[in-house]
Structure 1
């Protein structure tokens, strides 16, 4: 096996409509840092490729009776009829050792296009359910995932007693309900708070910090998740 074949792989799924945004610069910085750390980096830019976020009935063969999306996902996996774009993204997801979701935090959660990517690509029968279980029995068990994102609010506003409350409260449904649910070990998130309020010099320093934090996060998992 060659050194290249043995290198770990990272899939970055990026969701920002502006390529000149700080969020996009942050993603590029993370990709470069992971590459320098020995990762083979694959980037999915959802806005650039015009990803359709809606899990729609018409991407599956016609069915009699009520449309049940997860049942149809499972059937499509078993029959080999999964939508071609979904199949491509699913294959890239399954091939990666590390998943990085890159986005601006909108309404305290994922942008719609990224949530839609999860809806369509975290396929029942492909990453959980069917031949797979949940959590440590799911298809992505043994792989790792992390969040890389920006906020509009300051770091102080996302602390206990701050205007919004602890950041962990907002991330639980993503960490536990999406990533750990399909088997991922979730790593520390890398967050830049309020880059729009920074000077150019502060943004440059923040990007440098992001590069270091991403590599550091891949070496240390977060604490055990809360239950319930």
Structure 2
């Protein structure tokens, strides 16, 4: 069985999760999304960056043994072409390329993703594999014909992120633009609407349970169940 969305079937999915607390609502949300995808017959991989001790730093030592000018994207391009990417990046990239759907799960910190997840993007969105080299960018990116979605929590209420709010933070889509356009669409993904729980810390137990139910329903609907 596979899920069919307007852009095509989802047979394999990758959830990359970034929250340091396994009992957080963000972590519960990721688990609920994973359960929903599995229930719909999707072959799922879940990467918990904190649990796996992911190193977010893209460093010269990962490519060069000695001195020399270090240009990260050029080294990525060379390693991708030569098949010399080392683990854990090689394994993460393989899982990324196999997945029809990428879900990035995280709490919105400073109107962006946590540093550990940005470091995952820095290291795994390899030039020469996800863009560049034989690939282009945007419609010609290496991840074209695949889908991506954000699964996130916020500290503020939905009203504080509403377009035109005069006493809030501003339109959430504005804060997500650099991720949607600058990361996901840049490498070719079709970006699906984000799944958001606003202010879970302010919800009652019943409210959090209802929010988890909404996550399940939105994940199912978003990927075309």
- Tell me how far 1:131 sits from its aligned partner: 1.0
Range with greater deviation from structure 2 (28-37 or 144-153): 28-37
Aligned to 1:111: 114
* Moved >6 Å (runs of 4+): none
Kindly provide the CA deviation profile for residues 5-63 of structure 1, in whole angstroms up to 9, marking residues without a partner as x.
x9701100000111100000000100111112221111000000000000001000346
Question: Match for 2:139 among 136, 149, 152?
Answer: 136
Question: Where does 1:111-190 land on structure 2 (aligned, <5 Å)?
Answer: 111-162=114-165, 163-190=168-195
Residues 10, 223 of structure 2: 8 Å contact kept: no
Residue from 30, 34, 40 that aligns with 1:31: 34
- After superposition, where does 1:64-79 map in structure 2 within 5 Å? 65-79=68-82
1:201 paired residue number: 206
Question: How far, CA to CA, are the matches of 1:166 and 1:102 in structure 2?
Answer: 20
The separation in 2 between residues aligned to 1:101 and 1:7, in whole angstroms, is 16
Checking the alignment, whether the CA contact within 8 Å between 2:161 and 2:171 is kept in structure 1 is yes
CA contact (8 A) 1:60 1:81 kept: no
| Unaligned ranges ≥5, structure 1 | 221-228
Which residue does the alignment assign to 2:101? Answer: 98
Residue 217 of structure 1 pairs with residue 212 of structure 2? no
Select which of 53, 64, 89 maps to 1:61: 64
Find the aligned partners of 1:94 and 1:63 in 2 and give their Cα distance: 31
Aligned to 1:223: none
Matched, 1:83 2:86: yes
Retained in 1: the 8 A contact 2:10–2:100? Answer: no
Asked if residue 41 in structure 1 is aligned to residue 52 in structure 2, the reply is: no
Secondary structure of the equivalent of 1:99? strand
Q: CA RMSD in A?
A: 1.6
Secondary structure, aligned partner of 1:148: strand
Q: CA deviation at 1:219?
A: 2.8
Per-residue CA distance 1:176-215 (angstroms, 9 max, x = gap) = 1000111100001000000000111100111001100111
Q: Is the 8 A contact 1:150 1:191 kept in 2?
A: yes
Q: Contact 1:12/1:44 (CA < 8 Å) preserved in 2?
A: yes
> How many residue pairs were aligned?
217
Contact 2:16 2:47 in 1 (8 A): yes
Provide the secondary structure at the position in 2 that maps to 1:19: coil
